[in-house]
Structure 1
Amino acid sequence: MINRRKEAIQGILYVLPSFVLILTFAVIPILMSGFFSFTQYNVMQPPQWIGLDNYIRMTKDPYVKASLVNTVIFTIGTVPVQTFLSLVIAAVLAEMFRGHFGGFVKSALFVPVIASAILVGTLWSFLLNPRGIVNLILQALNLPAVNWLGGKATAMFSVCLVSVWKNVGYFLVIYYAGIMDIPRSQYEAAKVDGASPIQCFFRITLPSLKSVTYLVVTLGTIWSFQVFDLVYNMTGGGPGTATQTLVLTIYNAAFKEYSMGYASAVAMLMFLFVLLINAIQKIFFREKEV
């Protein structure tokens, strides 16, 4: 009995630091945002309860509607691409380049991950400006220059491209670790039976990485809904509202209009939307595993 109580106390002490951090920096801020979303609050004065006024205002706000659509477009444009690219590159490295060259490729692709998003945004803004290197290359190939960040049709594409370039290295490492955990005996048995590398990929690698794929898709979705610094630095949400995202709308409402209550309401909308997407992903991957 004493030993069980001692083990229970040790277990509580073991998880207590993580529990306190999650409670302080995740749970409590979410609860506070939920409360402030029902108030009129400008930081300088105490919050005043206004009920559902912020949510009613949100349904009529064109910026919120545009930012929600843009965030969904950004998520659809980045998550599948970076998931596919990271999986394919990881599979190729694991199959063909396990030596120093493979380690060099992984390190090179991971460099954008550790680089600051502000630095990445500044770099790509320079590369993609009308007189940047990308347009110089196009002109050298007798192709017309493109206003990458100034056109409504190309601005979102450019931001998505840079986001994929920055994140693919992170998910590559996750996939590579997952592939390394697959027993090599399965591949050897498949090759004895005459399976090609592509058949091994679809019959062995892909089914064995379902849990890893769920993690990659979930993280990618959450990161896509939280995108801010890259968009803020590259386009500022423009041209017009072409790249306006939910987090950028929250930032403008909170720190430019000092409407913390309304910003909290938009934040709760984003929170609920991410929860809904995550629930759909769980159902999808659960059905795939059955």
Structure 2
Amino acid sequence: MLKKRQKREALQGILYVLPSFILIIGFCVIPIFMSGYFSFTSYNIMTPPKFVGLENYMKVFQDSYVADAAKNTLLYVAMTVPIQTILALVFAAFLAYKMQTKTGGLLRSLMFIPVIASAVTAGTIWRIILNTDGGLLNSILNFLHIDSVNWLGSTKTALISICIVAIWKNVGYFLVIYYAGIMGISRDLYEAAKVDGATSIQQFFKITMPMLKPITYLVVTLGIIWSFQVFDLSYLMTGGGPGRSTVTLVMGIYNAAFKQYKMGYACAMAMLLLAIILVINLIENLFFKEKEAK
């Protein structure tokens, strides 16, 4: 009787998981292997793929466009991930410790609004705000007797502007994750620290941050993956310009696949992007393991 019940429960568990498993296999795993195969072929959708070996990969490593896209993407990741992680942690700690009121709940809701806004909406609004002629930000600067800045039209500021928008859009999501983690920390730890004479700052660095290591790992991992996949904001706000200053790897993949119809070449770029993400994720794992060992 017990075995039948265990088998029935196991079957129910499999049936619950099966739809998600099928979707993951169909829309994630299989496309990765297909991209790996097509990356070794010359394929333009209209004709059957022709095997060309490592030719696509050799072109990728020799292509200055891909080099610029990779550099921009790495700069984007380096700017957005640390800043949005730190801001989310600081804001979450402030709301958890100082704003346990209705006002705090309202602030959390307001900071989450950019997360649910579509990238098209966010990009369009910020493009208006950052517009050189008559944009809200430049109007404020002019009111303060400061010269207008060509935010999206200068190679020096275009990528930084996109990073600012991305941070504004993502920080609310990570704030909620951090806030939930902080609220899950036992209050007894803080009470004991107060008895020992620890200040609020000491409590933050000695209790809050160590207890949030698993959440920080999650936040950093998601931030890295999302940042490497950036396409929408760059495409909407600058179209990759001026020049190539805001071209990203995903934009390069899109252009190669759907504008130039070089599917094999686009797949080679996609596999390169996958390899970069995996290597950085491996480095991140080693970093957090070393921190835990200490």
Task: Pick the TM interval, shorter chain.
Answer: over 0.9
Match of 1:45 among 44, 47, 62: 47
Match of 2:210 among 203, 207, 212: 207
In the TM superposition, structure 1's runs of 4+ consecutive aligned residues that sit over 4 Å from their partners are: none
Q: How far is 1:15 from its partner?
A: 2.0
Q: How far is 1:4 from its partner?
A: 4.1
Q: How far is 1:231 from its partner?
A: 0.4
Match of 2:129 among 123, 127, 130: 127
Q: How far is 1:156 from its partner?
A: 0.7
Unaligned runs of 5+ in 2: none
Quote the residue 1:73 is aligned against.
Answer: 75
Q: Give me the TM-score of the superposition, normalised by structure 2.
A: 0.96
SS of the aligned residue for 2:278 comes to: helix
SS of the aligned residue for 1:244 comes to: coil
Unaligned runs of 5+ in 1: none
Quote the residue 1:279 is aligned against.
Answer: 282
Amino acid at match of 1:178: G
Q: What do the CA deviations read for 1:143-163 (whole angstroms, capped 9, x no partner)? A: 111100011110011000000
Q: How far is 1:139 from its partner?
A: 1.2
Alignment of 1:139 with 2:137, yes or no, is no
Quote the residue 1:179 is aligned against.
Answer: 182
SS of the aligned residue for 1:152 comes to: coil
Match of 1:256 among 249, 256, 259: 259
Q: What do the CA deviations read for 1:110-166 (whole angstroms, capped 9, x no partner)? A: 000000101111111111111211111111111111100011110011000000000
Quote the residue 2:12 is aligned against.
Answer: 10
Amino acid at match of 1:206: M
Quote the residue 1:57 is aligned against.
Answer: 59
Q: What do the CA deviations read for 1:68-112 (whole angstroms, capped 9, x no partner)? A: 011000000000000000000000000011111111011100000
Amino acid at match of 1:274: I
Alignment of 1:109 with 2:111, yes or no, is yes
Q: How far is 1:205 from its partner?
A: 0.4
Alignment of 1:269 with 2:272, yes or no, is yes
Match of 2:195 among 192, 197, 212: 192
Q: How far is 1:18 from its partner?
A: 1.7
Match of 1:169 among 150, 156, 172: 172
Amino acid at match of 1:165: W
Alignment of 1:36 with 2:38, yes or no, is yes
RMSD: 1.0
Counterpart CA distance in 2 for 1:10 and 1:116 is: 37
Q: How many residues are matched?
A: 290
